[in-house]
Amino acid sequence: MSDSVKPADVGLIGLAVMGKNLALNIADHGFNIAVFNRTTAVMQEFIRENSSTPGQLTGCETLPLFLATLKKPRVIIILVKAGPAIDTVVSQLLAAGLEKDDLVIDAGNSLWTDTIRREKQYSTQLKFFGSGVSGGELGARFGPSLMPGGDPAAWKHLEPIWRAIAAKVDPKTGQPIPGAAPGKPVTGGVPCTAYLGPDGAGHYVKMVHNGIEYVDMQLISEAYYLLKHLLKLNPAELGDIFAQWNQGDLDSYLIEITADILRQRDPVKPRKFLVDMVLDAAGQKGTGKWTAGSALDMGVPANSIAEAVFARCMSALKEERVSAARQLKGSKPARVSGKTSIIEAVRQALYCSKICAYAQGFQLMRQAQEEYHWTFDFGTIASIWRGGCIIRARFLQKITQAYSRNPALTNLMLDPYFKKALAKGQRQWRQVASLAIQQGIAAPAFLSALAYYDGYRAAVSPANLIQAQRDYFGAHTYERLDAARGEFFHLDWPHPQRPQHQTTGA
C-alpha cells in the first residue's frame, strides 16, 4: 500500500453500473472504499472519472493488493453476474488470503437457495451474506432498499455501511426523503434496511419484492390498456389520469413513472407518443418466475404473481398473437360511457388488486420462514420497502402499520384498514372485471386478484368435488365435514352399496 492510500473500510468487486453506483454511494458517505474489477481498464477509468469523493476511492489491480488495502475484518461486496461467477470470485478471494472473520456480501440477484448453499459451503472460511439491492441504477447511486441476510454476529460490521447508504424515509409519514446528489447524501430519516435473517433470508425477501413488482407493473399496464380501449384516450390523457392517481392512495414510484412514460413523445417521430411505438413484448430476467416457482413448491396460492409472469410470457408471443388475432373471434372493445365513473372504478380495481398482490407476497414469506427456519418481522420488511426500491409506495406505510398492529396477521387482507378498502372498492373492482370479460380484453392480474379475494373469503369451496373425484379414480381418500380433521375415508364409488371405510392414508 502506498503512503497516500488510507486503509479502506469496505471493498467492492465488480464495476458494472450497479457496482460503480454503489461504490460512489458508499464513498459519498465518507467511507474509504477499495474497488477491484476483473478487467483492470474498467477500474482505472472509474477511478479517473471519480477523483473527488468524500471517502477515498482506491483502485486495486490485483486481489492480494485489494485484500491488503482493507481493514479487518474485511467487508467485501461482490456485484458480479449472479451464478457461477460468485463462486469464482469467492474462490479467488480465498486463494488471495481471505480470512474466516471476513465478510463477503453477494449483492446481486442470486437465487436464495444458492445463498443458503454458499453460506453453508463457506461457513468455515468466511462470513457469507446475501443482500437484495433494489432501486435500479439510481437507487444504488442515491439510496437503495437493502435486504441483507447472513451471520447475525457479523452483521454489525456491515450494518453501519448499509444503514448509511440505504434510502431514507420520514419516520412519521414513511415517505422517502428526496434530494440526494453526488457528494451530498441525505441526512436524517430512517434507513430502508434491516437484518432479515440468516443465509438466504435477504435474497428470498428481495425475490418476493420482485414478484410483487411484476404484479404491480402488470396491474398498471392492464389499467392503462382498459382505460385506453374503454374510453378511447390518448397516452397524454392517460398520463394525466395516472398523475392524478399519484396524488392519492396509489401514490408510488411505478405510478409516477407511468405518468411520465405516457406523456413522453417519440424522439424519432415527435407526432407520436413513444409508448405507442414500443413493441408490446415484455422481457424478464427470472425473479418473477422464481417467486411463482417457490409459491408452487410450497403450495401457497400466489396466483396473481404467477399470472403476472405468464402475462409476460403471453406478451412475448407477439408473432403468434398477431396471427391469432386474425383467426380467433372475440368481442371487440367498444367505447363505454361514464368516463369519470369508469376511471374511478379502474382506480379502485387497481388498489384492491394491489392489496391482493401484497397479501400473496406476504403469505409466501410466512410459509418460507417455516420452510427455511427464518423469523421474519413483516412490519420491518414492509418498512424497508417504503423507500429506495421499485415498489416504494405510500401504501407500504399502511402495510407497516398493519403488521405493527398485529405482527401475527394471518393475511394482509384481514387487517382492518385493508378489509375496509376491499369492502369499499369491490363493487367497482367487479365492474371492471366484468367489463374486461365482456369487451374481450385480457386482464389476468385483475381477474386473478379478484379470484384470490373471492377464493380466500369462501368458507366453502368446490374442492369437495375434487376430493371425491380423487377418491373415485385413485382411492386418494377424503375427509368428512362431520368427522374430525385427519380422519380419512374411502368409498368404492362404482359399488357404493359397499360400506365406506375409514383409512389412515391421505
Positions annotated as catalytic residues are 206, 213
How many CB atoms are located within 10 Å of the residue 325 CB? 9
409 scored as a contact of ligand 2AM (CB under 6 A): no
Return d(Cα 228, Cα 156) in angstroms, integer. 51
Exactly one of 5, 6, 7, 16 binds ligand 2AM (CB under 6 A); that residue is 16
CB 432 within 8 Å of CB 227: no
15 scored as a contact of ligand 2AM (CB under 6 A): yes
Q: Tell me the angle at which helices 444-456 and 201-231 cross, rounded to the nearest 10 degrees.
A: 120
The closest alpha carbon to 238, from 220, 253, 224, 254, belongs to 224
CB 393 within 8 Å of CB 399: no
460 residue type, one letter:
V
Shortest reach from residue 101's CB to ligand 2AM, in Å: 23
Shortest reach from residue 23's CB to ligand 2AM, in Å: 11
C-beta of 23 vs 255, nearer to ligand 2AM? 23
Q: What are residue 134's DSSP bridge partners?
A: 145
CB 82 within 8 Å of CB 110: yes
37 scored as a contact of ligand 2AM (CB under 6 A): yes
C-beta of 49 vs 280, nearer to ligand 2AM? 49
342 scored as a contact of ligand 2AM (CB under 6 A): no
How many Å is the maximal CA-CA distance in the chain?
Answer: 94
22 scored as a contact of ligand 2AM (CB under 6 A): no
Return d(Cα 73, Cα 436) in angstroms, integer. 58
CB 12 within 8 Å of CB 22: yes
231 residue type, one letter:
L
C-beta of 38 vs 117, nearer to ligand 2AM? 38
Grid cell 486503509 in the structure block, residue: 7
* 207-226 residues near ligand 2AM, rule: CB under 6 A: none
Exactly one of 12, 89, 166, 393 binds ligand 2AM (CB under 6 A); that residue is 89
Minimal CB distance residue for ligand 2AM: 38
Shortest reach from residue 40's CB to ligand 2AM, in Å: 8
Exactly one of 62, 88, 91, 247 binds ligand 2AM (CB under 6 A); that residue is 88
Shortest reach from residue 174's CB to ligand 2AM, in Å: 33
Q: CB burial class (10 A; 0-12, 13-18, 19+) of residue 429? A: buried
C-beta of 110 vs 258, nearer to ligand 2AM? 110
Return d(Cα 226, Cα 251) in angstroms, integer. 20
Exactly one of 85, 177, 257, 282 binds ligand 2AM (CB under 6 A); that residue is 85
* 39-68 residues near ligand 2AM, rule: CB under 6 A: 39, 42
Interface ranges with ligand 2AM (CB under 6 A):
14-16, 19, 37-39, 42, 80-81, 85, 88-89
